[in-house]
A and B are shown apart, each in its own frame.
Chain A
């Protein structure tokens, strides 16, 4: 029975502290996205955060649990921020609301609230939106300067009116680099594809810089010991390994490892999504397998599946494996012989 409580001696942060640090660490990524894709991004994040707090308060009240501690732990806010940051800038308000409700109410609270959800709430929301509203979820406009007021107006229009002015749809629907590469067609070689300048100027560098901004936030989290290195390293490692294998086997059809690393949600997912402790494996060996599994699934879905990016699905699929990972990666306790196989619990969770 420790009478030295972590909170008082300042040795370890509280749960709320952890959550808030993750929120703080999203700022560089959100700032970079706002810079390249307009105010729609930040308004997504703010709206999603607001909705998440509202949804949490509502459902916790319905569940007859104390509301204040649930809001105070900032976990709902974090879910909202992460979901908001994953949405295209022109997302209408109701899209955000539906996603947040699925994340906070269904994926988290209906499973028992903080600590009990088997699936990553933000990714449940995202996956639901992606399969339900594919048109809206692919509205990634080409990067434009912040001053472009058309974009600003359209974003606000979407947020307030809830639909998009029909004439602007074309202007908004640009392809992400992953999208473009996926749909380049079998006959087109990668070199020809890139030579044809398939994307508006600056698109690739914009996505790269956003990815690097997420990386900065992620490294801050590791440096502050808010997250452990195991999952990001394992996920990025397995992704890079697979990407390198594919690329080495046929560089004319597969994208380079660097392309996979710096586009899409790879770095955001590795540091901010896959590391959600509640839905991840717990033992260090389990975390390595979990992260590597996500990385492999992302590469497989990106390369052979129907979706250009796959972080959400990969994370959800690996969430499914967590109970099994937890059972089979129990570390060998001190004082147990190396040779004695460590029995896993006979009955599953």
Chain B
């Protein structure tokens, strides 16, 4: 099968040789771990231990909160010494005693059991965004998935964690892929890997023949070009499918996982081990023995870098993730989390600060490298001008923030930073609008309810009055034009009924589109319409009664 092209892309210096020359190693056990409650996309987990509790490796220490969240487990055995709003600290006892769950056979276990296991293992994507894996695996419930894409492209410079994962555990990663493929119903597994990882490729080629069941696995070696490891770009490249704007890979029948996540999934199911450790690349010119290490979550960056020979004098900055999309650390007193794939201890000469920005000369270099085919230069212009409506028309939200545009900009404009700020500004605005809309709708609901109560009260009074004054027939002075009144009330009732129907439809469509979402605002609007309908019906009934009484003296 041929590889398809995604537009744009760049060829930054790879600098991977610094960390992929040595075997995967195990970092020494930390004496203390700090486990942040939010290491994943969604809500922070809720602590379920107390200070002083003794825990084992794998003991649940914080429960997921809500649907989009992930549980957290102790990564060392020892004593809980501190629980703050954001993290749990555990002092290790050095025994490293484990608490594991029973082993499951993914080939025969019920899907619900497997999902439950992924959930209770606190598994999240280990690539970057940290999306809870059990939710991603459930996508098959409302999308037909035919292909699982294993994202082994690892296109960012410096990072070699997936490379070493594949070299060290090719068979396990493939088995993990089969496990996830079974859960989501994919019949095909495609591994997308850049051609700069020959050893990982040969390891996979050796392991492939034994792993072809139940799903067929295809290995696709692609050209090394940043950002081929971005989900959309990789799916385009290996499957020639375009993930729709604002959509998910599931919309085109695919699911994307990185090798580390698949390995962790297998460990959770086969070995009953929750997610308590991961493989991290420790690299950069400021460390003397760079390489890839199994590292317990919560280990501090400072102790890790010291362990690989940090030369503090030469250290300029530490970057979490890759140099293209990663972030510089404000302090080394930061723990490794589920999404930490790489730590770069860079010298000043290695990754110096950006030169002073100069004006954009509209050269178009950014446009030619943009993998999303946006117009970075125009986005820059409108972002600085805070022209948000035009930014949205130019599809700012399709930007994947890969940094290719900033990389080639001859004027050294921090384009991605501009886009991030603009996105944030627009999101804040949307939240504000939604809030005020919701307030307005709640107010309308209250008005409608009062009107309905009023109408019903009126109807009751009228009924009482009619009953007591049944004999007397000349009470209809105030209803001088009953026919017109009746007719307009009937129209109002029909309109209110239509409004209820419409509100129901809008809500149903929204819920179908995004079943996991709550639609408070739409519910309120529906309730308002219902109140209006009731009020209209009460008024109509009332008027009818009157008319009948009048007609039958």
Contacts and interface: CB of A to CB of B under 8 A. Distances in A.
Interface of A: 1-9, 11-18, 69, 73, 75, 113-116, 228, 277-278, 280, 282-284, 287, 326, 330-337, 343-347
Interface residues of B, number: 66
B111 interface: no
A16 B361 CA distance: 11
A345 B361 contact: no
Nearest to A329: B375
B398 A335 contact: yes
A282 B378 contact: yes
Nearest to A66: B356
Nearest to A73: B358
Contact of B364 (A4, A287, A337): A287
B342 to A, nearest CB: 12
B66 interface: no
B361 A277 contact: yes
B377 interface: yes
B228 to A, nearest CB: 13
Contacts of B246: 335
A1 B414 CA distance: 7
B12 A9 contact: yes
Contacts of A336: 244-245, 395, 398
Contacts of B12: 4, 9, 11
Contacts of A343: 393
Top 10 closest pairs, chain A to chain B, by CB? A2-B403, A115-B359, A335-B245, A277-B363, A2-B406, A12-B408, A15-B410, A3-B323, A4-B323, A345-B390
Given A14-B412, A282-B378, A283-B367, A3 B328 contact: yes
B361 A333 contact: no
Contacts of B375: 282-283, 326, 330-331
Given A277-B363, A331-B373, A331-B375, A3 B247 contact: no
A73 B417 CA distance: 24
Given A5-B355, A6-B407, A331-B373, 5 more contacts: A3-B326, A11-B11, A115-B359, A335-B398, A345-B390
Contacts of B358: 14-16, 69, 73, 114
Contacts of B359: 15, 113-116
Nearest to B350: A8
Given A335-B243, A345-B393, A3 B410 contact: no
Contacts of A284: 364, 367-368
A333 B374 contact: yes
B243 A12 contact: no
7 contacts: A2-B404, A3-B319, A14-B412, A15-B363, A114-B358, A277-B361, A346-B389
Nearest to A112: B359
B236 to A, nearest CB: 7
Given A4-B13, A11-B12, A347-B390, A282 B362 contact: yes
Nearest to A277: B363
Contact of B409 (A6, A332, A337, A344): A6
B352 A6 contact: no
B420 interface: yes
Contacts of A287: 364
Contacts of B236: 334
Contacts of A278: 361-362
Nearest to B326: A3
B360 A115 contact: yes
Contacts of B420: 1
Nearest to A280: B362
Given A3-B326, A331-B373, A333-B373, A13 B157 contact: no
A15 B359 CA distance: 9
Given A6-B410, A7-B355, A12 B393 contact: no
Contacts of B326: 3
A228 B364 CA distance: 9
B363 A18 contact: yes
A347 B378 CA distance: 14
B245 A1 contact: no
A240 B372 CA distance: 35
Contacts of A11: 10-13, 407-408
Contacts of B11: 11
Interface in B68-110: none
Contact of A7 (B346, B404, B412): B412
Nearest to A322: B362
A219 B86 CA distance: 60
B27 interface: no
Contacts of A346: 389, 393
B346 to A, nearest CB: 8
Contacts of A113: 359
Contacts of A282: 362, 364, 367, 375, 377-378
